[in-house]
Amino acid sequence: MKRIAFVHDVFPGGGAERVTLDIAEYLSQNKPDYRCYVLTPHVIEDLNTEDVRRNITIIPIRRRKKERSEDVERLIVSEKIDLVVQVAQPVMHMRNICKRTGCKSIFSNHGEPLWERYSIIRRRKKSIFFKPLWRLYWKHYFVNKGHARNIAIKRVQKCYSDCDAYTVLCEEYKQEICQVLGIKPDLARIHVIENSERIVKEPTLKKEKIIMFCGRLENTSKRIDRLLRIWGRIQHRLPDYKLMIVGDGNYRKELELQIANEKLERVEMVGKQANVNLYYRNASIVCLTSQTEGWPLCLTEAQAHGCIPIAFGCTAGVCDILSPSGTNGFIVPPFDEEEYADTLVHIATMSEEEQNIIRRNAITKRSQYAPEIIMKKWAVLFDKLLNSKQ
């Protein structure tokens, strides 16, 4: 029996967690000699369904970095774990843990390269200690002088040196990381594995006049405040449409206040939903206005359901999913809110025949990321690492 443990901050939840579920399901059906675990400090109980537990054993660990590292090492030994997949966040001292236990490790980057620079800037901008000095000095130091980027590069270097394999979401991300680390791509331990997208049986092209956002309500990366401002520009130009916000998070109150202050009409916030497929099925257009994204599943989910996706082309991952623009979705230059608003009106006022051409193209594009294609890449990587142990 080969045992793989995925380390998550929260489980189950967003896109990265769904990928782990897909991997576990694929292995259970195609490689019965594999067994999957998830090690996490926070289990979302209302999402921890029987379907989740069928293919995965969830084991709680402590949250603090040092304690989490200790728990991971203890469980590698007690559960006889052969391979640890660090999802998005690294485990402290992972290289030393692997040396002591004989375990292999993968770091799975679910964001764009150097995405950490955004959170570094945000923490310093918001902290009580840095805030008074932000405009005077720190903004210039961390943003203009590139100190946040330099910190992010050091973190990538550390993650890469501490793992046996490093995964990214598209070829452009691999090239960028190789460039900043000074590594030849053909010699790098970097593997390109896109996020998979599940098959939607009988997606409908008959849509309601709904423009939808689906995801976490946070403002570091998702920037839903931009979408609300864009809606304010066009709400009177699209009187038959409504904007629906599906999801929850710590930024919800601020968004509700923005809706009230800007007198936005026909905006519905429905909160977190266990079954978002019903909302995708009805939505005509799916919007993303993020500052940064790795491989946003909301866009491939939109394509799978026959929705028309639109997003700022903030990263190579977004552009890979939607390109060519106007065929499989729409890419707007970052972060031109006026252009986004005009494009949104253009999509909404297209004829039904024109819209359906794009919807069919999008459904076809999704097939490139079918689970049987993407999960096989993970299985090949697992086999390669575990066979090398023997």
Cα atoms in the 13 Å half-sphere on the side-chain side of 373: 13
- Strand 267-271 vs strand 210-214: parallel, antiparallel, or unpaired? unpaired
120: in domain: no
Coil/strand/helix, residue 331 = strand
Task: Give yes or no: residues 358 and 215 share one domain.
Answer: yes
- What is the reported pLDDT for 135? 66
Task: Give yes or no: residues 290 and 178 share one domain.
Answer: no
Does residue 324 carry a pLDDT above 80? yes
pTM of the model: 0.89
137: in domain: no
Look at the block and give the residue holding tokens 């995405």: 115
Task: Give yes or no: residues 336 and 240 share one domain.
Answer: yes
182: in domain: yes
Q: What CATH number corresponds to the domain at position 319?
A: 3.40.50.2000
Q: Which domain holds residue 257?
A: 210-368
- Strand 34-40 vs strand 56-60: parallel, antiparallel, or unpaired? parallel
Determine phi and psi for 235, rounding to 5 degrees: -60, -35
* Tens-place pLDDT, residues 139-177: 766 776 678 889 889 999 999 999 999 999 999 999 999
* Tens-place pLDDT, residues 245-265: 999 999 999 999 999 999 999
Determine phi and psi for 165, rounding to 5 degrees: -155, 150
- What is the reported pLDDT for 131? 65
* Tens-place pLDDT, residues 175-209: 999 999 999 999 899 999 999 998 898 899 999 99
Buried-state track 196-221, b at ≥16 Cβ within 10 A, e below 16: bbbebeebeeebeebbbbbbbbebbb
Closest C-alpha among 26, 6, 110, 16 to residue 377: 26
Does residue 229 carry a pLDDT above 70? yes
Does residue 390 carry a pLDDT above 60? no
- What is the reported pLDDT for 6? 98
Rounded-to-integer distance, Cα 281 and Cα 208, Å: 9
* Tens-place pLDDT, residues 277-287: 999 999 999 99
Rounded-to-integer distance, Cα 260 and Cα 50, Å: 40
350: in domain: yes
Rounded-to-integer distance, Cα 229 and Cα 237, Å: 14
* Inter-CA distances, 194 with 28, 45, 144, 242, Å: 20, 28, 32, 32
Q: Where do runs of H (alpha helix) occur along the chain?
A: 15-30, 50-55, 65-78, 94-101, 116-126, 139, 147-162, 171-181, 224-234, 252-261, 277-282, 297-304, 316-322, 337-348, 352-366, 371-389
Residue 157: burial class (beta carbons within 10 Å; 0-12, 13-18, 19+): middle
Task: Give yes or no: residues 231 and 342 share one domain.
Answer: yes
Task: Give yes or no: residues 232 and 248 share one domain.
Answer: yes
Determine phi and psi for 82, rounding to 5 degrees: -95, -30
Task: Give yes or no: residues 350 and 379 share one domain.
Answer: no
DSSP codes of every residue in 103-138? -EEEEE--S-TTTHHHHHHHHHHHSTTTGGGIIIII
Task: Give yes or no: residues 76 and 184 share one domain.
Answer: yes
- Work out the average pLDDT over 8-17: 87
Q: How confident is the model at residue 94 (pLDDT cuts 50, 70, 90)?
A: very high
Coil/strand/helix, residue 265 = coil
